[in-house]
Amino acid sequence: MEYAVVYIGLAVAFGMFMAWGIGANDVANAMGTSVGSKALTFKQAVIIAAVFELAGAVLAGGEVTKTIRKGIVDVTPLAGTPDLLIYGMLASLLAAGIWLLVASRMGWPVSTTHSIVGAIVGFAMAGIGMDAVHWDKVGTIAMSWVTSPLLAGIISFAVFTSVQKLVINTDDPIANAKKYVPFYIFLVGFIIAMVTLMKGLKHIGLQLSFEQDLMIALGVGAAISLIGALLIKRIKIDPEADRKFHYANMEKIFAVLMIFTAISMAFAHGSNDVANAIGPVAAIVGIVQSGGEIASKSALPIWILILGGVGIVIGLATYGHRVMATIGTGITELTPSRGFAAELGAATTVVFASGIGLPISTTHTLVGAVLGVGFARGIAALNMSVIRTIFMSWIVTLPAGALLSILFFFFLKSVFM
């Protein structure tokens, strides 16, 4: 291939740009509830994300990344012209990256999964033909726009209602928080361990039975619950604080819990969504290294995973604050107890969806979860104009990715051919 070095250079640059966009937009979702509820400062959120997004990406981000995300496109017609697939992948990365930049600038939490899916569909329609797109798969993804926020909303509504009944609306919220929060911490540890075992570790070649997954997850939950209980014991109760805000000390106890949910969201996100940036990069590197052969799977060098992880962290640190503000304070006012209910609802939905193999968006799930918590406090607690803007930005994501991708595809084709 005459432009081999150029292709790999562009793939790395565009992949990094896309990963940056994921950090600026998607990770901000994962951390927005923790920062919005003041359980963590922005700086602490960036440090937690740096460690656990990277860990999630490298440990559970994929030994083998399916070249074309989730089988949305049939690339067999391109067997004789691998260059076209390279332009398509480059165009998809650039298109999705630019859409994420625009959305992050506006503070819209959009789906990085859907941005790249839209972009790949756009390139396939223009470069291969309408028949190359598996429209049933695209339909399933469109369905998840409704199902995942709904499911997350219902779960977080139920979780927050349980917090209200067991802790907030009782005679002694502080004593009850101390009593029940370790149990909630156990739930978080258990669910995230299940996500990781079921979704992530297949890539490293660790195939465990469901019973083994369950036992390990129970053990992880118990260990984390113990650490949480020890941290709660160290909290100093300040009777003065409760005069200003009746639940100030109780929320301090829930803030401990939010540290665990933030870690778990970062890890789950790193293992799940890093593929959006590096899947196309792996495809391009694979084609170039094999001298133009299009493999159905491409081995994933560890440097590509690290590249994706680093890009994500830089994106969050430099530009994540805008989307964080939307998720953390724009939709409804969050406190640690509310933020925890939202994150647990979102994480549980991600586990459930991974279990049944539904491609869902972390973003949609989290927004749905925050809405669920808002509903539990009454419809007046929700900011309807922010919610309308978010829904509009979701609808625009797929066509925006597709249109940009078509433009870049023809541009790259004209430059190189």
Segment 58-87, tens digit of pLDDT = 776 654 345 444 567 777 777 778 888 889
**Rg over CA atoms, the chain:** 22
As to burial, measured by CB atoms within 10 angstroms (0-12 exposed, 13-18 middle, 19+ buried), residue 124 is buried
Neighbouring residues of 95: CB distance < 8 A, sequence distance ≥ 6: 115, 118, 119, 122, 401, 402, 403, 404, 405, 407, 408
**How high is the pLDDT of residue 329?**
66
Domain hosting 282: range is 4-416
- Comparing CA positions, the residue from 73, 13, 118, 45 lying closest to residue 361 is 118
**How high is the pLDDT of residue 221?**
92
The two most distant CA atoms of the chain are separated, in Å, by 75
Residues in the chain: 417
Cα–Cα distance measured from residue 373 to residue 331, given in angstroms and rounded to the nearest whole number: 10
Considering its fold, how many domains does the chain have in total?
A: 1
> Are the C-beta atoms of 399 and 118 separated by less than 8 Å?
yes
Does 307 or 17 have the greater pLDDT score? 17
- Mean pLDDT value of segment 300-322: 81
Cα–Cα distance measured from residue 101 to residue 18, given in angstroms and rounded to the nearest whole number: 9
Q: Kindly report which listed range (28-32, 48-52, 277-281, 400-404) carries the lowest average pLDDT score.
A: 28-32
- Mean pLDDT value of segment 35-46: 82
Tokens standing for 176? 């009850």
Tokens standing for 185? 């911490």
**Distance set, CA 163 to CA 119, 152, 168, 262, 329 (Å):** 41, 16, 6, 19, 20
Looking at the chain, the whole-number percentage of residues with pLDDT higher than 70 is: 88
Could you give phi then psi for residue 183, rounded to 5 degrees? -65, -40
Phi-psi region of 321 (alpha: psi -120 to 50; beta: other; left: phi over 0): alpha
User: pTM (2 decimals)?
Assistant: 0.80
Does 260 or 226 have the greater pLDDT score? 226
Alpha helices by DSSP H, 290-359: 302-319, 321-325, 336-356
**Distance set, CA 89 to CA 150, 196, 349, 417 (Å):** 32, 28, 30, 16
- Comparing CA positions, the residue from 323, 314, 325, 405 lying closest to residue 362 is 323
Cα–Cα distance measured from residue 409 to residue 231, given in angstroms and rounded to the nearest whole number: 53
Does 3 or 298 have the greater pLDDT score? 3
> Are the C-beta atoms of 316 and 27 separated by less than 8 Å?
yes
DSSP 81: -
Q: Is residue 18 scored above 60 in pLDDT? A: yes
> Are the C-beta atoms of 93 and 395 separated by less than 8 Å?
no
- Mean pLDDT value of segment 402-409: 94
**How high is the pLDDT of residue 60?**
63
**How high is the pLDDT of residue 14?**
93
Cα–Cα distance measured from residue 216 to residue 29, given in angstroms and rounded to the nearest whole number: 28
Mean pLDDT of the chain: 81
According to DSSP, the residues that pair with 66 across neighbouring strands are 297
As to burial, measured by CB atoms within 10 angstroms (0-12 exposed, 13-18 middle, 19+ buried), residue 218 is middle
